[in-house]
């Protein structure tokens, strides 16, 4: 049986990298006594795959991991069992059964929503001016940036990868951008490109980034491809 788990990663856990997060979830499955399926062969491992690795220092309430189980209790029971063994900053938000034909979460990711804020001391001096300029920046036909590749730097137009972007009254910036294997755009790249277009530099520690949700085809959150187990 295929299961998709949605979880939050916040607080101090934002500094845990993807490989350590994989190891952490393997321990969680054992501690919560999840009847997870193991691969066959000389070195069996838990069948588990994550949707879209989260950058170190980024928080989220829209993370996903797919597992396969041999048996399971109801979704509400499994959420409670998993959260009992979760450390501070980690929370299971949903536990849903997937159709047998469902594709892996990693291959489904197309878009992601983010909320970006400036840390104290790094805020724009004039927020209204910053907001208006950001809106005008998004109206450009092309937004070229230099992206690092294995062969060096390459100019890439990131404008097609931005669905929408807006500033909020609480001085946050919200955006929906491309994610996944076909195209993947980090929010800080967008803000850096805008500030550089204004002749300014973005300090590496200026932003806090939070991923709100991850979407698959038809802009459906990944957990909506499954159903709760009663």
* Overall size of the chain counted in residues: 230
pLDDT of 152 above 90: no
Pairing of strands 59-68, 207-215: parallel
pLDDT of 148 above 90: no
pLDDT of 149 above 80: no
Please give the Cα distance from 116 to 83 (Å, whole number).
27
Q: Give the start-end residues of each E strand in 71-110.
A: 90-97
Mean pLDDT across 61-66: 97
Where residue 41 falls among pLDDT bands split at 50, 70, 90?
A: confident
Q: What is the phi/psi pair of residue 3, to 5°?
A: -125, 135
Please give the Cα distance from 202 to 99 (Å, whole number).
44
Q: What is the pLDDT of residue 166?
A: 95
Q: What is the phi/psi pair of residue 225, to 5°?
A: -85, 0
Contact at 8 Å (CB) between 176 and 163? yes
Mean pLDDT over each residue of the chain, to the nearest integer = 94
Task: Identify the bridge partners of residue 167 per DSSP, sorted by sequence position.
Answer: 173
pTM of the model: 0.93
- Block residue for tokens 């955006």: 175
Residue 62: other Cβ atoms inside 10 A? 24
- The predicted-structure confidence for 73-91, as pLDDT tens digits, reads as follows 999 999 999 999 999 999 9
Structure tokens at 110: 């197309």
Q: What is the pLDDT of residue 85?
A: 97
Contact at 8 Å (CB) between 31 and 40? no
Where residue 111 falls among pLDDT bands split at 50, 70, 90?
A: very high
Contact at 8 Å (CB) between 218 and 88? no
What proportion of the chain, given as a percentage, has pLDDT over 70? Answer: 100
Where residue 46 falls among pLDDT bands split at 50, 70, 90?
A: very high
* Local structure of 44: helix, strand or coil: coil
pLDDT of 71 above 80: yes
Burial of 224 (0-12, 13-18, 19+ CB in 10 A): middle
């Amino acid at each position: 049986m295929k299961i998709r788990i949605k979880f939050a990663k916040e607080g101090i856990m934002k500094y845990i990298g993807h490989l350590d997060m994989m190891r952490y979830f393997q321990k969680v499955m054992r501690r919560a006594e999840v009847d997870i399926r193991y691969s066959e062969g000389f070195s069996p491992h838990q069948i588990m795959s994550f949707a879209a690795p989260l950058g170190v220092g980024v928080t989220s309430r829209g993370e996903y991991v797919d597992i396969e189980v041999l048996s399971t209790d109801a979704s509400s029971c499994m959420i409670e069992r998993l959260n009992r063994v979760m450390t501070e900053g980690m929370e299971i938000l949903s536990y849903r059964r997937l159709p047998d034909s469902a594709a892996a979460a990693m291959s489904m990711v197309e878009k992601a929503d983010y909320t970006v804020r400036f840390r104290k001391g790094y805020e724009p001096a004039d927020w209204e001016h910053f907001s208006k300029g950001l809106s005008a920046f998004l109206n450009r036909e092309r937004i070229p940036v230099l992206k690092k590749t294995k062969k060096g730097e390459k100019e890439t137009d990131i404008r097609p990868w931005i669905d929408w972007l807006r500033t909020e009254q609480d001085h946050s910036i919200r955006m929906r951008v491309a994610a996944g294997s076909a195209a993947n755009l980090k929010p800080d790249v967008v803000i850096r490109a805008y500030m550089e277009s204004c002749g300014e530099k973005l300090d590496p520690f200026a932003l806090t980034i939070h991923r709100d949700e991850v979407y698959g085809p038809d802009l459906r959150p990944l957990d909506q491809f499954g159903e709760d187990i009663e």
